[in-house]
Structure 1
Amino acid sequence: MVNKVAAFLFVCAALARGLPHGGKPGHLEARTSSVPNRANAFQRMVVPQQPRRNVSGTKRVEGCGVAPLAPSKESRLYGGRETIPHEYPWNVVVWMDHSWWCGGVLISDEWVLASGGCVKGSGLLQMLFGAHNRDQWEESQVTYETDEYYVHEDIDNPNRFDNDIAVIKLRQPIGLNDYIQPVCLPSYTDAADAANFVDVDVIATGWGADTHGYHHELQYLNLKTISTQQCIDIYGNFITDLYICTSGDRGVGICNGDSGSPLNYVKDGITYVRGIGVFWAAAGCGAELPSGFTRISKHLDWISEKTGIAIDP
């Protein structure tokens, strides 16, 4: 995550398209590799057969979107800062084949929402829950392994980022506690009102990079959503309402390592995941250009079909 104005801070090496000519906006940087050798690692992976589990009925996720250890929300500075430990107990670190990592978000005691581009082609997935410092052992941390996941059938990667979404099935339900909690999914009412989700305060959380490298402690960014048309005006018709874009004012935005991490929206004291990180500008993470997120409200039927999670009206 980047909170300083500095163009050309980071350029992703793995799937990069190159810098914009003359520094002009309109070129997107491909998703982070999270480690320098992802391109080679990706080429060696064999795409496993997607599991075909029969989901019996649907179930609601009770008590979602509540962080027991979160403090009262004082006024936050605009820009990235370290979160209070376990303020966002749904943030997950997802490791693919011990080779690279991306962010994820817990949406029930059995399912994790992630970036399809990150997990596609992986065999073994390892997920770290209950972490504040992802590189230091904490009593709250729990690690699960699985090879069961669904990547959206219509994902367009790496050429574009359409339908960049996946769900990961835990081999057994995870025990929920003060440090590990699911976030809420949007409702169908939210989906119907998606066009009006503009100029809204949202919070991105993740362990992604800034000018000093990847963060060990979970970070947050206060962001503001912009309209699809505003995003098109900068990046071109590649952008559709499959994405939520956030303003890049003051060089604030997501970066390497934030793919799959949640865009949090708080309503009536409950937190909802409205997006997961997917792209930033080729000019650099701090180039004052918009960040892009997969719009979760466009994929509610797909999530429910794969997971059996009931979506609120």
Structure 2
Amino acid sequence: MKVILLLLFLSIYTQVHHANTEEYLESWHESVGIKNAKKIKEYEDILYQRIVGGAIAPLNAHPYLVGLLIDLWGSPSLSACGGSLLTSNRILTAAHCWYDGRFQAMRFTAVLGSPFLFHGGLRITPDRISVHSQYNSRTFANDIAMLFTPIRIAYTHNIQPISLPHGEMLNESFEGEWTLASGYGRYSDIINPSTNTMARHVSLKVIPLAHCRVFYGNIVLDSNICTNGYGGVGICQGDSGGPLIVNRGGQPILIGVSSFVALDGCELGFPSAFARVSTYINWIRQLL
């Protein structure tokens, strides 16, 4: 069975063989985030009712993964994103989760240590956000932001921080390497309420940026990392802002923040794009 990452994606209009880079959705939250948050909750409610009284498997595989539920100004509906726990009070996510060009986040709820986005786990409301000063909501440039929690999060077996790249890794392109992305929600273009909506992951191979630009044009910058979509794998509707990692010596290292994919579907072979963490390492470190 194909395993597709469950990510609420930043949508771009696409053509049959080439992703259109000129027309963008007016509002990611309205067109994608809100709709998929509702779907995820519906699926979770059905699945959760089946296993009440039993035991939900702990999220041991991705203890750094953070789910984000988002209250928006001017909307009664919730949206959803993902993030990565960097320290006991810092969470890295995508800037478009805060502002997509139309809707702005009023409040985030961070969900840690749970295989579900709407049920269980530790839930904390961050009290501050720092968005990259050069973030562009129309082109997705510098699509990165830091959330601050008012209290320090206690680490457990299910809640652990992710390491940042350092040393020679800061100069690596990671082209040709296999990476791992994780998130909540959908894992294929076709989903129904009986589908398991627990957190999942997918292995993705990093491709040259030139290959990515064939699909997305000049919105792909040197500050991005792109992964292949061959075989119908890639990030999908679940968590924009979620982590892309490599393993070095058995240790997960955060190298990307989920930024955008094509609108046409998760399984059509389009690449996935992430904000490159090494590009923003000084910005990140200043906020830790």
Settle same-fold status: TM greater than 0.5. Answer: yes
* TM bin (shorter chain): 0.7 to 0.9
Q: Which residue is equivalent to 1:127?
A: 110
After TM superposition, list the pairs within 5 Å mapping 1:114-193 onto structure 2.
Answer: 114-120=93-99, 121-137=104-120, 141-157=121-137, 159-193=138-172
Taking the aligned partners of 1:11 and 1:126, their CA distance within structure 2 comes to 16
* CA deviation map 1:22-60 (0-9, x unaligned): x1213257656322299xxxxxxxxxxxxxxxxxxxxxx
Q: Which residue is equivalent to 1:34?
A: 33
Instruction: Say yes or no: does 1:292 pair with 2:273.
Output: yes
Residue 146 of structure 1 aligns to a residue whose secondary structure is coil
| CA shift for structure 1 position 96 | 1.5
Q: Which residue is equivalent to 1:88?
A: 62
| CA shift for structure 1 position 101 | 1.0
Q: Which residue is equivalent to 1:221?
A: 202
Native 8 Å contact 2:182 2:202 kept in 1: yes
Taking the aligned partners of 2:86 and 2:156, their CA distance within structure 1 comes to 14
Native 8 Å contact 2:184 2:239 kept in 1: yes
Taking the aligned partners of 1:255 and 1:228, their CA distance within structure 2 comes to 20
Native 8 Å contact 1:95 1:101 kept in 2: yes
Q: Call closer, same or farther: CA 1:95–1:237 in 2, change over 3 Å.
A: same
Taking the aligned partners of 1:11 and 1:133, their CA distance within structure 2 comes to 14
Corresponding pairs, count: 247
Residue 222 of structure 2 aligns to a residue whose secondary structure is coil
The one of 275, 282, 291 equivalent to 2:256 is 275
* CA deviation map 1:178-204 (0-9, x unaligned): 11000001114222223xx10101011
| CA shift for structure 1 position 302 | 0.6
The one of 233, 239, 247 equivalent to 1:258 is 239
* CA deviation map 1:84-125 (0-9, x unaligned): 732110101111127211011101111000111002332221
| CA shift for structure 1 position 147 | 2.7
Which range moves more in the overlay, 278-287 or 104-113? Answer: 278-287
| CA shift for structure 1 position 281 | 1.5
Taking the aligned partners of 1:11 and 1:17, their CA distance within structure 2 comes to 13
* CA deviation map 1:237-290 (0-9, x unaligned): 221211110000111011222201101110001101110111112332211110
The structure whose residues are more often helix, as a share, is 2
Residue 234 of structure 1 aligns to a residue whose secondary structure is helix
Taking the aligned partners of 2:92 and 2:12, their CA distance within structure 1 comes to 27
- Give the root-mean-square deviation of aligned CA atoms: 2.6
Could you tell me which amino acid in structure 2 is paired with residue 105 of structure 1? S
Could you tell me which amino acid in structure 1 is paired with residue 243 of structure 2? P
Could you tell me which amino acid in structure 2 is paired with residue 280 of structure 1? V
Residue 181 of structure 2 aligns to a residue whose secondary structure is strand
Residue 125 of structure 2 aligns to a residue whose secondary structure is strand
Q: Which residue is equivalent to 2:184?
A: 207
Could you tell me which amino acid in structure 2 is paired with residue 35 of structure 1? I
Could you tell me which amino acid in structure 1 is paired with residue 18 of structure 2? P
Native 8 Å contact 2:132 2:145 kept in 1: yes
Taking the aligned partners of 2:135 and 2:218, their CA distance within structure 1 comes to 18
Q: Call closer, same or farther: CA 1:171–1:215 in 2, change over 3 Å.
A: farther
Moved over 6 A (4+): none
| CA shift for structure 1 position 19 | 3.9
Taking the aligned partners of 1:152 and 1:259, their CA distance within structure 2 comes to 16
| CA shift for structure 1 position 156 | 1.0
Q: Call closer, same or farther: CA 1:215–1:255 in 2, change over 3 Å.
A: farther
